[in-house]
Amino acid sequence: MLSPDVIERIHEKRRHYPDARAAVLPALHIVQEELGHLPADVMRSVAELLDVPESAVYGTATFYALLQWKPAGRHVISVCHNLPCTLLGAETIIEHLGRTLGVGEGQVTSDGKFSFQRIECIGRCDGAPAMLVDDDYHGNLTPEKIDGILKTYE
Amino acid sequence: MDAMLLKRIHISNSTDIDVAMAHGAYASVEKAYAMRPVDVLDEVRRSGLRGRGGAGFPAGTKWSFASMDPKRPKYLICNADEGEPGTFKDRFILERDPHLLIEGMIIAGYAIGAEQGYIYVRGEYPAAFDILERAIGQSAAKGFLGNGIGRKGVSFDLAVHRGAGAYICGEETSLIESLEGKRGQPRVRPPFPANAGAWGKPTVVNNVETLANVPFVIGLGSDAYARIGVEGSTGTKIFSVSGAVKRPGGYELPMGITLREIIYTHAGGIRDGRDLKAIIPGGVSTPMLTAGHLDVRMDFNALLATGSMLGSGAVIVMDDRTCMVQATSVIVRFFEHESCGKCTPCREGTRWFSQIYRRIMKGEGRENDIEVLLSICGKMKGMCFCPLGEGAIQPVMSSIKYFRDDYERCIRKQGCDDRACRSKANMNVQPGQSESKCSLTG
């Protein structure tokens, strides 16, 4: 079920477009911000709210890399593994994170705190190697720096 | 020369409209409103401004197609889906000078007759999304956006649309599909967006940097603007320099500057005292160049003449420790992941690339692998539905062309040898791993 606040925010986005379907992606962003991921029943609610086919919402939700349709950790760590970051040590960072968190890529830590995934270029090549934790950018990463960053998330 | 597009980004509070206006923001709007839309369009055409997103299409020509189409409403879309790996130039404008972009969009909207604009910003730039929303609110409060603005009483509104992580959405028809709420897959062209774009209406899609140039074209006038840069590539370009350089960063320089000046004068040269091996001049979909190309001028035509492309101006520098098989494998893995699946040559070809590179890196390269890779390139070339597939073959072909030795060594030695892949500093082969195998994709 969508909360009244979420419904209002989706309606607010809807006003920007001549067609309701255009509000699907904004709506999915809003829901994900609220719930951390996109459960199937919520996708159904979005479809009903915007009066678009459920299959259209599901099709859109599963196309984009940043939309999580499986339960995620409270914080999502996305490490860039594209060329500029790889040239400057992304694989070392990914290995270190896997060891530190004790989970493989695409998994959630046992305390539910972190999800850990690879991501394509995040446009922070001037601070390579770089990663996003939720909406926060962290660059010029080293294994030592990673340990300090992880401590700042509750 | 002094920075033009990036001149306000170091000012504190540069995203605030009062600060931006104290430093010249929105001055060109009034100048444009004093002209007829067709004259604004003409100024942009005469300035020689070409699209900064990758293709280099003349902006004024693109505008005129949409402007001449009688269908209404018309839409203006800013492509802020900066996804070409190595590119981060638009981020400076989006995060530090949103009012420059808004000013450019107001003028562009006036020239083509659009009353609604969208800024499609990539999902990986959450800060930019918030900054743009706030800037649009400030701009509307000052009366630059809304109904009946300016002496002419034009209407123009803006909304920010947040993408969600899909490289393909940088391609303009896929971006429009995504804006409409669908999966980001390209449309058949023609019809071109200028005639049937968003919701079937005339639509202009311009890159952030292209639109950010518009206030300067109008402010300086097309003649003065066209004196910056070189013939065929006017104005400045923001180069995103990354990889093995001492000072990676965004550098706004006149079009036509040499790679040598960008890499050695501005980015400080190669780090760790190493030698230059390879340069990608315009993002990973543009053909690689070598140290022998350092004196190539960075403009649309000069790069085409060398067999590469200016692309987004994302200069990725690799030093002599880089194994080009390994570097290319990272790029093809990216294209495999980002292929939207719509057309067979791209969907299958990028997958085959990835499998073959992975196999070579695991020490299972076959003698005819180079020929197989080139044959896949041949079957994709000109056969893909959109430029993504065409882009995927460029790193493969160019790395084989210039660095065939690396391939032969990797295949012959059943994995990379010591000089290249085993280099710990560069490509992360960890101590203790088998000396004959690559770690990156193995």
Per-residue pLDDT of B158-182, as tens digits, reads 999 999 999 999 999 999 999 999 9
Cα Rg, chain A, nearest whole Å? 17
Averaged pLDDT for residues B296-308: 97
Give contacts of B331 with chain A, Cβ < 8 Å. 83
* Nearest CB to A125; choose among B178, B248, B439: B248
| Per-residue pLDDT at B415 | 62
Query: Average pLDDT over chain B, rounded to whole?
Result: 93
CA distance A140 to chain B (A): 11
> In chain A, which residue's Cα lies nearest the Cα of B267?
A126
| Per-residue pLDDT at B313 | 97
* Nearest CB to B199; choose among A19, A23, A86: A19
Fold of A75-151: Glutaredoxin (3.40.30)
* CB-CB under 8 Å, B440 with A86: yes
Whether the CB of B123 is below 8 Å from some CB of chain A: the reply is yes
CA distance A25 to chain B (A): 6
| Per-residue pLDDT at B279 | 98
Whether the CB of B442 is below 8 Å from some CB of chain A: the reply is no
Class of domain A4-61: mainly alpha
Residue B394 near residue B388, CB atoms below 8 Å: no
* Nearest CB to A121; choose among B85, B159, B162: B85
DSSP A74: S
| CB environment B245-271: b (16+ within 10 A), e (fewer) | beebbbbbbbbbbbbebbbbebbebbb
Maximum separation of any 2 CA atoms in chain B, in Å: 73
**pLDDT tens, B67-116?**
999 999 999 999 999 999 999 999 999 999 999 999 999 999 999 999 99
* CB-CB under 8 Å, A87 with B322: yes
Q: Is A116 helix (H, G, I), strand (E, B) or coil?
A: strand
Percent of chain A with pLDDT over 90: 94
Residue A14: CB atoms within 10 A of its CB come to 17
- What are the backbone angles phi and psi of residue A134, rounded to the nearest 5°? 55, -120
Residue B378: CB atoms within 10 A of its CB come to 12
* CB-CB under 8 Å, A91 with B164: no
CA distance A123 to chain B (A): 5
HEC-encoded secondary structure of B8-23: CCCCCCCCCHHHHHHC
- Assign domain B324-427 one CATH number from 3.30.1360.40, 3.40.50.450, 3.40.50.10320, 1.20.1440.230: 1.20.1440.230
Whether the predicted pLDDT of B422 surpasses 90: no
DSSP A99: H
Averaged pLDDT for residues B125-139: 97
Q: Is A23 helix (H, G, I), strand (E, B) or coil?
A: helix
Where in chain B are the domains? 17-227, 233-319, 324-427
Residue A93 near residue A131, CB atoms below 8 Å: yes
pLDDT tier for residue A58 given thresholds of 50, 70 and 90 = very high
**pLDDT tens, B23-67?**
999 999 999 999 999 999 999 999 999 999 999 999 999 999 999
The CATH architecture of the domain made up of B17-227 is 3-Layer(aba) Sandwich (3.40)
| Per-residue pLDDT at B414 | 66
Averaged pLDDT for residues B9-26: 97
Residue A98: CB atoms within 10 A of its CB come to 15
* CB-CB under 8 Å, B181 with A52: yes
**pLDDT tens, B319-336?**
999 999 999 999 999 999
Pairs of CB atoms within 8 A across A/B = 156
Structure tokens at B412: 């012959």
* CB-CB under 8 Å, B124 with A122: yes
* Nearest CB to B164; choose among A25, A81, A120: A25
CA distance B136 to chain A (A): 13
* CB-CB under 8 Å, B199 with A87: no
Name the nearest CA neighbour of B389 among B379, B401, B399, B404: B379
Whether the predicted pLDDT of A28 surpasses 60: yes
Residues 6+ apart with CB under 8 A from A19: B180, B181, B199
Structure tokens at B236: 């400045």
CA B67 to chain centre: 25
List the A114-119 sheet strands across, edge first. Answer: A107-108, A114-119, A75-80, A131-133, A136-138
Whether the predicted pLDDT of B185 surpasses 60: yes
| DSSP assignment of A40-53 | HHHHHHHHHHHT--
* CB-CB under 8 Å, B91 with A87: no
* Nearest CB to A82; choose among B85, B183, B426: B85
Unique residue bearing structure tokens 């920075």: B3
**pLDDT tens, A65-112?**
999 888 999 999 999 999 999 999 999 999 999 999 999 999 999 999
Whether the predicted pLDDT of B418 surpasses 50: no
* CB-CB under 8 Å, B249 with A29: no
Interface test with B, best of A83, A97, A131, A132 (most B CBs within 10 A): A83
* CB-CB under 8 Å, B183 with A63: yes
* CB-CB under 8 Å, B316 with A84: yes
Give contacts of B123 with chain A, Cβ < 8 Å. 29, 64, 66
CA B104 to chain centre: 18
Whether the CB of B394 is below 8 Å from some CB of chain A: the reply is no
Q: How far apart are CA B167 and CA B84, in angstroms?
A: 7
Name the nearest CA neighbour of A28 among B164, B52, B442: B164
* CB-CB under 8 Å, A25 with B178: yes
Averaged pLDDT for residues B403-425: 69
pLDDT tier for residue B1 given thresholds of 50, 70 and 90 = confident
Q: What is the ipTM of this complex?
A: 0.96
Q: What is the dihedral of CA B181, B182, B187, B192, to 10 degrees?
A: 0
Measured in residues, chain A has a length of 154
* CB-CB under 8 Å, B439 with A21: no
Give CA angle at A74 (A68, A78), nearest 5°.
60
| Per-residue pLDDT at A154 | 87
Averaged pLDDT for residues B227-239: 97
A1-4 long-range contacts (CB < 8 A, ≥24 apart) are: A1/A41, A1/A42, A1/A45, A2/A31, A2/A42, A2/A45, A2/A46, A2/A49, A3/A34
Residue A140: CB atoms within 10 A of its CB come to 14
Give contacts of A64 with chain B, Cβ < 8 Å. 123, 163-166, 184
CA distance A98 to chain B (A): 15
CA distance B225 to chain A (A): 29
Q: Is B233-319 CATH 3.10.20.600?
A: yes
Residue A33: CB atoms within 10 A of its CB come to 12
> In chain B, which residue's Cα lies nearest the Cα of A94?
B428
* CB-CB under 8 Å, A29 with B330: no
Name the nearest CA neighbour of B255 among B220, B288, B227, B283: B227
Give contacts of B316 with chain A, Cβ < 8 Å. 83-84, 87, 125
Q: Is A138 helix (H, G, I), strand (E, B) or coil?
A: strand
Give contacts of A121 with chain B, Cβ < 8 Å. 83-87, 124, 334
